[in-house]
Amino acid sequence: MSEHIHVAYGTEIILMSVIRKVTAEGCLAYGNRNLLYIEGLTTVGSACCGMIECRVIHVPGFVVSWHYKIDNASGNPLSKVEPISDPSTLEDVKKLLFKTFPSSLFLFS
C-alpha cells in the first residue's frame, strides 16, 4: 500500500531530469476496482531533432481509499493506492490504457 498526494492541475512535478505538468486526474474502471491515473505533459527532444510535447500517463495503482486525509505539508488530499504488482494484471491494464490514451507514454509506480 502507498499514498498518493493529489495536486492541482497545472502543477509541475520534477522527477529527476524530467518536468511533468499535470493536466488531468481520473479513475478508470478495471473489473470491480478503480485505477488512478494522472495525465500530464512533458517536453522531450534533442539538439539535432528539436523538441515536442509528449502526453504522459502516470498510474500510481488501484484506489483503496480516496481522499482519506489531508497532507500536512502541502494541504492537498491523500489517497491510499495499491501499486500493480501482478504481471498479468499489469498487461491487462496496459491494454486498457493504450485503448483509452493512444500515443501516450505510461509510467507505473
d(CA 39, CA 56): 6
Task: List the domain boundaries for the chain.
Answer: 2-108
| pLDDT (0 to 100) of residue 25 | 95
CA 29 to chain CA centroid, nearest Å: 15
pLDDT for res 81: 97
Instruction: Specify the pTM.
Output: 0.84
Query: Are the C-beta atoms of residues 56 and 13 closer than 8 Å to each other?
Result: no
pLDDT at 55: 87
Please list the pLDDT of the chain residue by residue as tens digits (109 residues).
Answer: 899 888 888 888 877 677 889 999 999 999 999 999 999 988 876 677 777 788 888 999 999 999 999 999 999 999 999 999 999 999 999 999 999 988 777 778 7
Question: In this predicted structure, what is the pLDDT of residue 107?
Answer: 76
Residue 29 CA to residue 23 CA, distance in Å, equals 20
d(CA 89, CA 95): 10
Q: What is the pLDDT of residue 52?
A: 78
